[in-house]
Structure 1
């Protein structure tokens, strides 16, 4: 007898146990299909079940802006870090025919998102319940057009997913024209972000950085988006998208990117590094 599939249930606000703790689902009072996924008081994902192209988080819109400038057509994409699978839903909606793999270590969270947030209805999407290092090691050489690294433990980026050794593994999985997208976060001084930028750029010929101007200047804690590839980016298009977005963002490329990472050492496995933690007030 075949395995019976669990029936999807409508989302309901509340707290739910998952493998690594507890998450909370919050309904968006302004959008009937909008839901926020929280863990330990930290917003992890936002999805609109009626409109997967609606992106609420600023940094997710910046990642989507990079994806939108890539060559037209379906993508073979890998997402390291799942949450509620906001970007996989966006790619499935904007690039029909895409084949996507999500690597997410929290099996309980995956089941919750499948049952309560309609993940089973996303076409071409497979989820592998494993950690980021093991999941990448199992992927074939030159099998992906896009890799999105958006993995956080609470409000911090796992250090083992920010090293040169891991970036080399992701570069192995990408096709020659493929793109790596990385979400990191930092605050005053941007010392960690500069090291992550140097690390991400290492295996690739081209790199760009996008962020809110205040975050880019180190004036406040926030997300910074790195994109790297052996193929040249449409930097004019990225600059226009960043400048016209709400809110507006900056895009560093070429000499400006080189100046940003000047003197920053790439991160390596075993390096004694303190990952920046956001101030408690940021999610108030």
Structure 2
């Protein structure tokens, strides 16, 4: 299917059973490609003609993290908690063919809608698991991943059982020793939920004897809090001797103006944002 051809109407929408929200695939008249809307709100953007074209800022930062932390074209074992329109999974397939990817999505209808209306790149190895992210990840037992992407958080409406130190410890435990957890957290201008997630992930990393939390975001969010997203990183990979090189690469890759905070800088920033660290 051409990226300029509108999918048939029967393949462009679905009613989601868990959230009871309508999901639509609509053409993006500004950036090109296609947009997944849920409940009338844009959730994901896909460019079928060029899956490396990532519009949403936080996903671009996540892609940049993967690009720097593992050798070019090396396949990855990666789990995505939260499907969206599978934007990052498409990127991984194109940049790292033969990667083994798993998506855990609670909305049964969403992956079918997305993959039928917006086909995945040829050769994609993608396992789709329907269910609660925490339960299904735990059910994988001894299975380990080099990267786990968590993209289920949106401020105070986020699933409470996922926004905890215990969940983060479980997710870190599913990583290879040199693996990485990438967490997207969206929040409103108060950023209190975001600050709590930094604290929970920091404590989980400490319990697992790992270095602390790195933060990637738009620089202005650190000085003038506003609605926005930050990407939090944790895991054994961040103890790499190449971490300074990765940090320079993440800064240079943007999107700009970019901020990349190491664990000490992350803790310092969140003492001022969203209520700091009350413990």
Aligned match of 1:6: none
2:7 corresponding residue in structure 1: 11
Unpaired runs of at least 5, structure 1: 1-8, 267-284
Q: How does 1:71-86 map to 2 (within 5 A)?
A: 71-72=70-71, 73-86=74-87
> For residues 245-282 of structure 1, what are the alpha-carbon distances to aligned partners after superposition, in whole Å with 9 as ceiling and x for unaligned?
2432101104212313455268xxxxxxxxxxxxxxxx
Counterpart residue number, 2:24: 24
Q: 1:175 to 1:25 in 2, by over 3 A?
A: same
Q: Aligned in 2, Cα 1:10/1:139: closer, same or farther, shift over 3 Å?
A: farther
Q: What value does the CA root-mean-square deviation take over the aligned residues? A: 2.5
| C-alpha distance in structure 1 between counterparts of 2:158 and 2:139, whole Å | 22
Structure 1 counterpart SS, 2:226:
coil
Matches within 5 A, 1:79-228: 79-119=80-120, 121=122, 123-141=124-142, 143-152=144-153, 156-201=157-202, 202-203=204-205, 204-228=210-234
Assess, with a 3 A threshold, how the Cα gap between structure 1 residues 244 and 108 changes in structure 2: closer, same or farther: closer
Whether contact under 8 Å (1:42, 1:155) holds in the other structure is: no
The number of equivalent residue pairs is 257
Residue in 1 that maps onto 2:43: 44
Structure 2 CA distance for aligned equivalents of residues 61 and 240 of structure 1: 13
Please tell me whether the aligned partners of residues 145 and 179 of structure 2 are also in contact (alpha carbons under 8 angstroms). Answer: yes
Contact map agreement 2:52 2:91 (CA 8 A) in 1: yes
CA–CA distance in structure 2, aligned partners of residues 259 and 52 of structure 1:
36
Q: Are residue 264 (structure 1) and residue 265 (structure 2) matched?
A: no
| Partner SS for 1:140 | coil
Q: CA deviation at 1:29?
A: 3.0
Structure 2 portions without partners, runs of 5+: none
TM-score of the pair, normalised by structure 2 = 0.83
Worse overlay, 91-100 or 137-146: 137-146
